[in-house]
Amino acid sequence: MALAPVAGFAGANPVTARGPRTETPTAIAALASAGALASLLVVAYPIGAAILEGVRASDGAVGPAPDPALLARTLAWAGAIGLLATLWACPLAWAIRPGRWWMLALVLAALLMPPYLAYAGWGMARAPGTMLGDWLARQGQGPRPWLPMAVGRGLAVLGLSLWAAPLAMLALLPRVLAIDQHVLDASRLDPMGSIRRRWLEARLSGAGLLAACGLVTLVMLGSAIPLHVAQVETWAVVVWRAMDESGAAGRARAWGAAGPVLAAGLLGAALLSRALMRRRDDTLPPLPVAGPGPSRWLACLIVAAAVGAPLAIMALGLRRAESLARFWTVSRDDVASSLAVAAMTALAAAAITLCAWAGLSARSRSVRAAAGASLAIWLIGALVPGVLVGAAIHRAWSWCPALADGPLILVLAHLARFGAAAAAAGAWMALAEPRECRDMRRLDGAEGLRGWWGAAVAGRAAVIPATGVAVGLLSLHEIEASIFVQPPGVGSLARTVLALLHFNRSEELSAAGVWIVGGGLLIALAVAAAAARRLFVIDHSRRNPPGGQPV
């Protein structure tokens, strides 16, 4: 790799009389400080203040009483979703392993869809008037009164596991990519059965499977919407109800009762930030050449079940074509407000990605430590239940009417929920920089903002806007935190959809799903394809260079 581009930006000799530079330039330190300050104001201050208030309020009557049986049921539901999501993630990861960037784009696009999509779409197949819905109604009024509710809960678990499968795949994929192809080739030459080969693959990726299941379980401990609609009592749902039905004092006491899910979120954030902060191995095994295999078709089927089939069911559920036009008549203001909030959230998320990337690329240990702490704080906001995050944001900033009475409070809540995705993207890009490139850049003195951008960022700068758009799409579908911070007079598309889910308004839900999911899917596919192709082409060329040796 030539040093010319680095030297051109640095404008300095590799070796000087004073030796190599050890301090971090002001611009890089300022970016890292801005990212750390944002995480403190958006996540640490609101959640920390709410926890302290909850501890003080818990001296009196506590909100929902501690219930070991409820905690056990919550762990069981979240664990079941985690296991199913990990099962779906295995074909996804093995289909992406040969370097199929288009498959990675499909999976990432599916992750940007609403968490309630699969539940709502497949649930319309049992709506009143359908063959399945009428049969379930007869069973509920006859010999099996428990069956309709059991089907609804099963659909909630299945839908959440399909939505979380791409998240589990992201945790599993690094371990799958690290498996040496020669080991797999040797196993195929051995006269062992396919079941024994699958068992060998599972053993080789065992740590990734545990990480995938644990990550999804942690996220589902704080998930409330699909399980709440399906009438599944979890700890997050009970805390949500306690906060929604009480005033400020009751909400403070509810924080004291949310201890188990809070502790799980804090522990998960610490473990996940530690895993993300590990430097990527520069001597990766070569990737195999893409070829036919059952994983590819199975992965396409899983993505279709998570996104394609629910969208098709919603489209086929439209009985009147004018419902599509009526959606814009009824929800025009809500769409405009939600798009404005999503756009502001996307811009802020792109800035968070840039700050995390710069901070973790710095030479100074203190700057990197601040950026790592900021990443851990953003992860806390992602793993703590969304209803708690929303209540904390509302409490922390209610003193400022200019902020609390406008759309900016929604931007803060959505950043607290999804800023971790932006920070993790920046951390991944910084820590995946090859050691040779990093050493050359530092040896040449390219430590300033311009030199760092030209040497480390320029070839992958598309990740920054792509991450911003991805977080904007997640913001468009956010419901849980928005419930407590929604200002009066500011429309919310997500709350409109939540009302349709509660009252089973199939026609309106179908029209909203076609527009929201269809339009969002096109944007998500375009963004994910651009980012996935660029990243995977670079990574594949680094693993399989023309000379035959990994870079």
Which pLDDT belongs to residue 5?
Answer: 35
Residue 163 located in a structural domain: yes
In whole angstroms, what is the distance from residue 105 CA to residue 111 CA?
10
Q: Report pTM.
A: 0.82
Which DSSP symbol is given to 453? I
Which DSSP symbol is given to 460? G
In whole angstroms, what is the distance from residue 399 CA to residue 35 CA?
24
Q: What's the one-letter identity of residue 381?
A: G
Which residues, 6 or more positions from 196, have their beta carbon under 8 angstroms from its beta carbon? none
Which pLDDT belongs to residue 471?
Answer: 93
* Count of the separate structural domains present in the chain: 1
Residue 12 located in a structural domain: no
DSSP conformation letters of 199-225: HHHHHHTHHHHHHHHHHHHHHHHT--H
Which pLDDT belongs to residue 22?
Answer: 45
In whole angstroms, what is the distance from residue 280 CA to residue 245 CA?
47
Closest CA to 184 of 115, 286, 56: 286
Residue 10 located in a structural domain: no
* Phi-psi map region of 283: left, alpha, beta (phi>0 left; psi -120 to 50 alpha): beta
Which pLDDT belongs to residue 378?
Answer: 95
Q: Mean pLDDT by 10-residue block, N- to C-terminus, for the chain (551 residues)?
A: 35 38 68 91 90 68 61 88 93 83 81 81 74 76 78 84 91 84 72 72 85 91 74 78 66 71 86 78 46 69 88 79 78 84 94 91 85 93 87 87 85 94 90 75 69 77 88 87 80 72 66 78 79 57 45 40
Which pLDDT belongs to residue 500?
Answer: 72
Residue 2 located in a structural domain: no
Residue 148 belongs to domain spanning? 25-280+293-543
Residue 240 located in a structural domain: yes
Which residues, 6 or more positions from 471, have their beta carbon under 8 angstroms from its beta carbon? 345, 346, 349, 414, 418, 419, 421, 422
Cβ–Cβ under 8 Å, residues 494 and 479: yes
Which pLDDT belongs to residue 349?
Answer: 96
Which pLDDT belongs to residue 41?
Answer: 93
Residue 550 located in a structural domain: no
Q: Where are the alpha helices (DSSP H) in 384-462?
A: 386-397, 401-404, 408-431, 435-443, 449-452
Cβ–Cβ under 8 Å, residues 390 and 327: no
Closest CA to 269 of 374, 349, 112, 358: 374
Residue 483 located in a structural domain: yes
In whole angstroms, what is the distance from residue 286 CA to residue 489 CA?
56
Residue 407 located in a structural domain: yes
